Amino acid sequence: MTARGPFRLEIHVRPSSSRPGVGGTHGGSLVVRVTEPPDRGRATTSALALLAAALDVPGTSLRLVRGATARLKLVEITVSDEERPALEQRLRRLQEPTSP
């Protein structure tokens, strides 16, 4: 894939979850579970930090494009062209269905 520029990803945040984690999909969006409640942006802040860690990218490379107060969010991830294939591979792994 030779796409250039920022990478955009839609995430579905599940606030107040019993365990934090990133994985699976909901309606085609990557699921990010956080223990924080949806109060004053706490769940969003936690979701972005958890996503950065799961993708192995610095938190500063993520930017919330839309959805600050919604469960469905659009995140822009800035990575170099050299890092992009590894990012896409990590995303594919995270989006795989989990076994019960």
Element (H, E) at 87: helix 84-95
What is the pLDDT at residue 2? 47
The confidence band for 88, taking pLDDT boundaries of 50, 70 and 90, is very high
CATH superfamily assigned to domain 7-79: YggU-like (3.30.1200.10)
The confidence band for 4, taking pLDDT boundaries of 50, 70 and 90, is low
Domain ranges of the chain: 7-79
pLDDT at 5 over 80: no
State how far the Cα of 84 lies from the Cα of 6, in Å rounded to an integer: 9
* Structural contact between residues 57 and 90, judged by C-beta atoms closer than 8 angstroms: no
What is the pLDDT at residue 3? 53
Q: What are the tens digits of pLDDT across the range 15-44?
A: 999 999 999 999 999 999 999 999 999 999
